[in-house]
Structure 1
Amino acid sequence: MSPTIPTPPQEPQDSPDGYVGLPAGRAEQRARERGWTTVRSLPPGAIITMEYRVGRLNFEVRDGRVTRAWKG
C-alpha cells in the first residue's frame, strides 16, 4: 500500500477587498460564514508576526471599520 499524501488545507474562494469599509463585527461574522477559520482584527500599525497561515483573514480596523484586509 502506498503512503497517503496529505492534501493541503484550502482557503475560502473569497476576496479580502470585499471586507474593506464594513463594520468590524459584520466583517468578522461574514468571514466566518464564508469559511475563514481564523479572523484577526488589528489596530493600525500593529506589530504582528509575518508567518502565513492558511485560512486566516486579517483586518486592520480604524474607528470600528475595516480599512485593510489580507490573507494569511
Structure 2
Amino acid sequence: MAPVPTPSAQPDDTPGAYVGLASETAERRARERGWATVRALPPGTVITMEFQSGRINFEVEAGVVRRCWTG
C-alpha cells in the first residue's frame, strides 16, 4: 500500500486577524506571511469545500474582508 501523502505546511497565522482589513491589504499581508494561494470571493459565492493546505480564503464585501478561513 502506498503511503498517505503528508500535506505541505501552511503558515502559522490567525484567519480572524484579516477580518476588517481592506482586501488589498489582506491579500498582500497573506502573501508576505507565506500563503501559497490567496482567494478573494464575493459573499454567497458557490465554492467546493475541498481542503487545500496553503490556501487562505477571504469573503470580501465592499472592498473589506468580512470572513476568512483556511483550506
State the TM-score, normalizing by the size of structure 2.
Answer: 0.91
Instruction: For residue 6 of structure 1, report the CA deviation from its aligned partner.
Output: 6.1
In structure 1, give the amino acid aligned to 2:24.
Answer: G
Gaps of 5+ in 2: none
CA distance in 2, matches of 1:51, 1:7: 16
SS in structure 2 of the partner of residue 66 of structure 1: strand
Pair 1:17 & 2:21 matched: no
SS in structure 1 of the partner of residue 31 of structure 2: helix
Give the 5 Å matches for 1:1-72: 7-72=6-71
CA root-mean-square deviation? 1.3
In structure 2, give the amino acid aligned to 1:38.
Answer: T
Gaps of 5+ in 1: none
CA distance in 1, matches of 2:48, 2:20: 24
CA distance in 2, matches of 1:70, 1:8: 17
Instruction: For residue 8 of structure 1, report the CA deviation from its aligned partner.
Output: 3.0
Instruction: For residue 18 of structure 1, report the CA deviation from its aligned partner.
Output: 0.3
SS in structure 1 of the partner of residue 39 of structure 2: strand
Larger radius of gyration: 1
Which segments of structure 1 move beyond 6 Å, counting only runs of 4 or more?
none
